Every structure is written in structure tokens, then in C-alpha cells.
Structure 1
Amino acid sequence: MKRLLAALPLSIALLLGPTPAQAADTHYTGSLPDGATWIADIPADWHGTLILFSHGFGSLTAADAPGEEAKRALLDRGYGLVGSSYDPNGSLWALESAARDQFAALAAIEGIVGPARVTIAYGQSMGGLVSTQEAENARGGLDAAVSTCGLLGGGIDLNNYQLDGEYALARLLAPDEDIRLVGYASPADGAAAAARLVSLATDARGTAAGRARVALGTALLAMPTWSAAQATPPADAEGIAQAQFDWFTAAAPFIMPSRYFIELSAGGNASWNTGVNYAELLARSPYRKTVLDLYRAAGLDPRADLADLTRHASTRADRAAVADLTRSSTLTGRLDVPMLTMHTVYDQLAPVEYENRYAEQARTPLLRQSYVARRGHCAFTPSEQIAAIQAAEHRAVTGRWDGTATAQNLQKAALALNLGDTPAFTGFRPGPLVSHRRLWID
């Protein structure tokens, strides 16, 4: 409350347009007890708002902004920036250390420049999961959070939805092959499995029956329905299935090797499909009609394939790994501070359905969700990123959203920044994340 009251006199100034920096920024670096490093950039005309940036999967290098363009635009508008590498001795799936190291980095820079008047956690991808964990356990150090392209299903839902789609492709396209989908000894195991599934799916799409079965697998993988090869979003089943296949071929070589690092962090496989009814999954899927239309066109009965998938589902999780990932890498929905999420509608690595999943958990006026009509993972413009930060900042300073987080007002705020990009906030409601299961294994 003391920090919030101190920030109130700034409420109007903080929401003004661009203010060119008057002097050079100051760059800070440091290290933490676990060996993590942190960096910070503070502009000479810092107005008191500090962005605690959580970077995504794939690197254990310190970062304090989502990109150089956004970094420059934020510094020019008086925002301070700080972020850590996470523990460099751990897994690339750094949830064991990320929130701890982020709060330690925040404490380190505030020990140098003084307490921030407003602190906003901002994360992207895996970092969006981290920033949401921070918002659920703010420790008195945060006033608001922005989670972008976040893995808001957590680590278990992440592995389970991917297992469902990959298993469907492997079982339906090569039932006699033993394609390893879990328990990787190295990223190379995942890469080999990905290459095999992409090859099988590419060959299968040469027939109507193959296209239907590939569509079922890519639907369970929640692949986006508009690919880079398509001029406009398709509305027909063939076009949607083509888009989901295109995205699968691009995403599989990344998502399947990445499983190794989650298993490394958890100490084993934390995903399972024993007991899963695949007919029920498809019945809830936003892509059900596409799959059924293609099965009908191929003259196939989807019930037979779905029953086969259910009957042969046999992947079991390691209980200790499930317990570990539940502790380190899931969310509760119990927010300590206001949070705005931002997601592209067509995201191949963090399905937009994650937003539906988190909204079901949270059910609180502290949460607002926003969407950008664009293809790709974390494909946001600097104006969209700053508009989201400003909306969260407004809520932190005033105690009210005042409509700042609506698609219309976020679009207006982004355009008013005059950064020369093309913001694309849109009204959208995602479907359910159908592969979520209760935290139970047999």
C-alpha cells in the first residue's frame, strides 16, 4: 500500500506519450548466489517504474527486455529494466530457479538505485509462466504483471497436450513402429522422433485418409489455423488442416527435443495418457468440425480411430516427476496483484487455448486477457508490448482498469505511441485446452 500511495502523483505522467531520454542510460550487471547473472538498464530520466523482465526458454543468458526495439522504446519513455539469466547450472527449463533469481535481481538493482515506485513483472513464453508465478506470489515486491505468449497451462499441461497429438500421429500413421515420445536421454532423441513424425505426416497427406488422420493429430496438438503460406485465414476444413500441418512441420523439431529439458528438470517423465478417452478430447476440441469433415470426405469412421487411440494409450508418468513439476511449474490462479495477459491468436508453441485454461483457474477481476491477430509465437510489436505495460501500470497506480485492457483501448494506446509499427489488438475468445487432466496418474 505504501508503494501504491507513493506512485499516485505519477499516475498522469506515467501514461503520457513518448519522452525522449535527456541523458545516457546506465547499464548495471551483477551475479547471484546460485551463479546466475543479472543486468539492468536505468534511464537518466527514470520516472520510477521498473520492469522485471523474465525471458523465455532456450537461453540462460541475462536479459531485461523482450527485444532491442522494445528496450529502446521503453528506456526512451523513462522505464527502468532488470532481468536475470536464471541458474546457469540447471536445465533450460529453468522453473526451479527463475522466480527466485528474478526477485533477487530486483532486490539487487533496487539496492543500487533505490526502491521503484511501481514494479511490473513482464514475461514472455516460459517467462510468461514465470511472471505469472511471480504475480501469484508477489512477495510484496510487485504491483502488477504482464504475461505474454505465456505457457499458462504449466509444464504438465504442456507435455500432455504435446503427447496427445504426437501419440495420435504415431499410432495412426505407423502403428507397428516404436517411436519414442517420452523418456528422452538427450535432445537428439526428441529430434529423431520429430523427424520421423514429420516424414510420416508429409507422406500421409497424399491420401484423403492420411489427411484426415494427420488433421486429428495436429488438432490435438492445437496447431494454429492460419499458416505463413496462406494469404488469409482459411475457413474450409482442407485449408485449416493444411495450416495446422504446416505449423506442425515447423514446430515439431523444436517442441519434441525441448521435452528433454523439462524431463531433466523434473527428474523423469511427467506426462501420461493412460486412461485418456480420445473421443472425449476431440468432442471438446475447437477443431472438431475440421477433423470430422475430413474423415467424412475420406469415407472413414473417426470412432474407430479414436477407440484405437484410447485402447492403446499406455504412457505412464513417473510419480516423483509429476510431483516435482507440480511444485515448480504449475499455476494456481490465485493472483496477488493485477495481471494482463497478451497472446497472438495463431501461436504454434504456446496454444492460445492456454488463456482459456488460466481464466478458468483465476476467475478474478485482477485478471484481464488480450489478443493480437497475428501469426507466430511471441510475435508482438513494440507498441503492443508498451500498450500492455501501460494498461497494467494504470491498474497498479489507480487501483482500476478503467477499460484500459480492452482490445479497443489497447489498440488506441498502441497507435498513440507512434512507433511506426502496426498493432493488431482484437477481440477474441479461445476454445478450451482439451488435454488438461487432473493431477492423477494410475
Structure 2
Amino acid sequence: MKRLSALITALLLVLLPAAPARAATAAYSGTLADGATWIADVPASWNGTLLLFSHGFGSLTAADAPDPATKQALLDRGYALAGSSYDPHGSLWALASAARDQFATLDAVVALIGRPRLTIALGVSMGGLISTQEAERAGHHHRLDAAVSTCGLLGGGVDLNNYQLDGEYALSRLLAPTATIPLVGYASPADGAAAAGQLSSLATAAQATAAGRARVALGTALLNMPTWSASQATPPVSAEGIAQAQYEWLVATLPFVMPSRYFIELSAGGNASWNAGVNYAALLSHSPYRTTVEALYRSAGLSLHADLTDLTRHASVQADRSAVASLTRTSTLTGNLDVPTLTMHTLYDQLAPVEYENRYAQQASGPLLRQSFVARRGHCAFVPSEFIAAIQAAEHRAVTGRWDATATTQALQKAALALSLNDAPAFVNFHPGPFVSHRWAWLS
């Protein structure tokens, strides 16, 4: 019996495909002048492309890839990786130092390994905002050749806080008009967590009535919540199904986004969001979720006009202008790209609304920008083949000066499948609706 077992094992070792050999990798690390740390990994079979990776919100630890699986897949294909922690003495919203620290990391790595054939910025979430900032600042000394920005907070810090304020205010005002629920000016993350608990409880209680569900739907529409939740087998098409999905995302997301506001306010030196003077009927009229809200209000026998008028009349949050100026300087985008940039976004993103892509396309329309979309739920929920296909498209543009067809949905999907990583890439054609909470006009 033992002999038979050994024979079967031997046969399996012959018949089953061997795992790809892991290339030898040299690891480097260092510290920058502001105390930021950096790391780099360079495979022995380096292909000449260096990826300058910008990590997302929530940590001030150096990282040089989105996740372990993607890191290994990139190293196996010869890519060198580098990335910094950002300034460890600042806020978790590290935009004041991030681009500077990333470029300083690039200088430190180049001094050790030599000049790359190509340097491509890669970022996720807050890091997607950072990598796009780098793409807008890359002209000086030709620091970058291209950028890939994924699940990026492309609206920047001001739009981020404002759209969240819009939705949270609507929930607070419509569900508990006499309650005092602080929405800005947090002294600690715990203040935001407490407020998130209050709003989540109100939204959950409101699910018991048609009127409550309609009002929650208005709040989740302004929050740009995704329309397909984990409890639903397929994307819903009915107003009720969409509202249910957005409610489920709401209660899962508020405990993260509301405490996170503290760190943005810390970075800005005050509250940089406002709704005084905002016309909520005008916001909803342009929202991709307007018809869902209207259908639920009709079913509930409520006046949507009356609720929107009430929201507009009582909107009174004022921004600290110096905080707005600070966050505008450190944490926004201009659309003036210096290098080719490919963005990638999931269709159902609870933390970086896919509508941000619509907003940035208006800012940066032109030959340098291409956008791609993945049919998946969740923030930054990409698989390694999708990252690599996007990077390959950016490489092609950097080398040839042309996108050709490499950044099309079909080409990206084909390239991802050709990698044979068996991770089910899901590039799809998609056009996001408008992002409705951008409001520079109120600054003047």
C-alpha cells in the first residue's frame, strides 16, 4: 500500500504543472529627511521598469505594492517596486508630504540601482490620488513616464468631505431633525465613531417604514453608495433593491468614513467642508440615483420637494477658509497631466465613488488620460492580472507615444487573461454618472 501511495505521489509530481520559480529579489530600505521610511524590491531579472507605489489611507508604514499576491506577480515578471510610508509625524491623511516623499524615495532608489528604463507611478485609494498628483507634477526633471491610478480619491480632500457631509446631513436632518449629531469639527476619531453609530441606528430603525426607507435612500444617493451589495446575488434593477443595497453599504461604511474625517481635518487645520448655500434639489436633479429616490418617495406618499426644500433651508455648516485653502493646496487635482495616466475603478466602490472618474475626465480630457472599469464590488477590489494589464498599457503608451488600443476594455481584458493567473479579470465598458457634490462656486 505504501509503495502504491509513493507511486501515485511520484506520478502527480510529474503530471501537475510546477509552480513558477520565484526570482531572486534584492530588498532595500531607508529613511528620508522628514523621517519617512521607504522600501524597494528589485528582482535579479529586472525588466527595467520601476513602479513607484503609493499606498492608501490608514497606515504610515512603507509599502511598495497593493497586496502580497500582486507584489509577487509583479516581481515574477521583472518589475522593480518602491514606495514610502509618508511623513510619520503627520496625519494619516498624508497628502501634505506624500508626493514629496514618493519622489524622494525615487531619488534614493535610483541612486542605489541606477536609472530605470521607465518609471511608472502606481497608487490605490488615497494613493490613487497621490499617484495622479505625481502625474500632474512629473514634468520637472522628467521624474515619471506614466501613471496608473486605481480606486483613486480623485475628487480630492475637499470633495471627499463635502459629499460625505451632504449624505450624512440629509440622514441626520430627515431622520432626527431635533437631535444634535456632530458632522464636522471632531476632536478625535471617537467623536466621528459616535456620530456614525447614531446615524447607523437611525437608518436601521427607518427601514421599518416606507417613509423611512425613502429618506434613507435620499441620504445614500447623496453619499454615492454602491447599488449592489454582498447579500444580493445579482445587481438589482428595482428601486427597492437598489435602496436596500445602498442601505447595507451605508451601515458598513459610516463607521470608517466618519472617524476618518478627523484625520483630514487634522491635516487641513480645521473643517474644510460646508453646505451653507447648497441647493439640495439641484444636487439630486443631477444624481445618477435620482430616479430611485423619486420612486421610493412616490411609493411612500412623501413630498420629495418638501424634504429637499427643508434640507436647503437648514443647511448651515460653514468651512474654515484657511482649512479649505490648505486642503485645496495639498489634496486636490488640477487635471493638468504631465504624463500618460490610466485610471482603474470598480463599478461598486463604497469609499471612492466611481462618479469621481466622471469628474476627473472633465478636468483632464485629452490624449494623456484613459479610464478603465472593473465589474466588481468593493473598494480597490482588483486582482493581480488587472493591475498588471493596466501597467502594461501604461508602459506601451510611455514607450511608443501612443495608446493604440491597449487601454480599451477589450484589450485590457485580453491582456489580463493572457497572464494566465486564473484570477477572473473583469474589465467592462462603463460610463459613470456625474459627481454632484463638487462646488467650487461657493468659495467665492
Q: If the TM-score is normalised by the length of the shorter chain, which range does it land in?
A: over 0.9
Query: Does 2:84 align with 1:52?
Result: no
Distance 1:325 1:191 in 2: 23
CA distance in 2, matches of 1:409, 1:193: 45
Question: Contact 2:386 / 2:425 at 8 angstroms: preserved in 1?
Answer: yes
- The CA deviation string for residues 270-293 of structure 1, in whole angstroms up to 9 with x for no partner, is 000011000001100000000000
2:148 aligns with one of 136, 146, 150: 146
> Which position in structure 1 is the counterpart of 2:295?
293
Q: Secondary structure in 1 aligned to 2:34?
A: coil
What SS does the corresponding residue of 1:285 show, helix, strand or coil? coil
Residue type of the partner of 1:343? H
Percent pairwise identity: 76
Offset of 1:47 from its aligned partner?
Answer: 1.3
Secondary structure at the residue paired with 1:191?
Answer: helix
1:138-177 aligned at under 5 Å gives the runs 138=138, 139=140, 140-177=142-179
Give the residue type in structure 2 aligned to 1:44.
A
Please show how residues 183-198 of structure 1 align to structure 2 within 5 Å.
183-198=185-200
Aligned to 1:409: 411
Query: Which deviations, in whole Å up to 9, do the C-alpha atoms of 1:22-74 show, x marking residues without a partner?
Result: 74100000000000000000000101100000000000000000010000000
- After TM superposition, the score normalised by the length of structure 2 is 0.94
Q: How many residues align?
A: 424
Task: Map Cα deviations across residues 360-413 of structure 1 (whole Å, 9 max, x no partner).
Answer: 001111000000000000000000000000000110011110110111110000
Letter in 2 for 1:27: A
Please state whether the residue corresponding to 1:197 is helix, strand or coil. Answer: helix
Shift of 1:439: 5.6
Q: Counterpart in 2 of 1:106? A: 106
In the other structure, the counterpart of 2:263 is: 261
CA 1:173–1:22 in 2, change beyond 3 Å: closer, same or farther? closer
Q: CA RMSD in A?
A: 1.1
Alpha-carbon separation, structure 2, partners of 1:408 and 1:167: 41
Runs of 4+ in 1 over 3 A off after TM superposition: 19-23, 439-442
CA distance in 2, matches of 1:440, 1:177: 27
Structure 1 CA distance, aligned partners of 2:422 and 2:196? 39
Structure 2 CA distance for aligned equivalents of residues 104 and 393 of structure 1: 22
SS at match of 1:34: coil
Distance in 2, Cα, partners of 1:439 & 1:70: 41
One-letter amino acid matched to 1:135: A
Amino acid of the residue matched to residue 258 of structure 1?
A: S
1:210 matched to 2:212? The reply is yes
Larger Rg: 2
Q: So what's the TM-score if we normalise by structure 1?
A: 0.95
Partner of 2:181 in structure 1? 179
1:75 has 2:114 as partner: no
Contact 2:277–2:442 (CA<8 Å) still a contact in 1?
no
2:90 match: 90
Q: How far has the Cα of 1:420 moved from its partner?
A: 1.5
Partner residue, 2:237: 235
Q: Take 1:271 and 1:441, find their aligned partners in 2: how far apart are those partners?
A: 11
Q: Counterpart of 1:146 in 2: which secondary structure?
A: strand
> Is residue 272 of structure 2 the alignment partner of residue 270 of structure 1?
yes
Structure 1 residues 339-378: aligned runs within 5 Å: 339-378=341-380
Aligned to 1:13: none
SS in 1 for 2:260: helix
> Of the candidates 326, 329, 333, which is equivalent to residue 328 of structure 2?
326
The secondary structure found in structure 1 opposite 2:257 is helix
Distance 2:150 2:20 in 1: 26
Residue 30 of structure 1 corresponds to 30
Distance 1:316 1:396 in 2: 44
Contact 1:338 1:366 in 2 (8 A): yes
